[in-house]
Amino acid sequence: MDYINRLKVFLSEVKIEMKKVSWPTRKETMYTTSAVIISVFLISFFLGLVDLGLSKLIERLIK
């Protein structure tokens, strides 16, 4: 029975803390999501080029 009371207290504390959270606006969320997606594409493109270059270098060294 003690577990049920502890769970109730925990959930009520969670509810109180969730009211304190500062949630981003839709515009902020869209902006930061776009920035992350663009960053991922740029970094993956760069790493792809580096991988291609190193692959060609290793290929030439092996021959």
Tens digit of each residue's pLDDT (9 = 90 or more) over 5-54:
999 999 999 999 999 999 999 999 999 999 999 999 999 999 999 999 99
The span from the CA of 28 to the CA of 36, in Å, is 12
The pTM of this model reads: 0.63
Q: What does the domain layout of the chain look like in residue ranges? A: 26-63
Which pLDDT score, from 0 to 100, does residue 32 have?
A: 98
Are 19 and 27 contacting, i.e. CB atoms less than 8 angstroms apart?
A: no
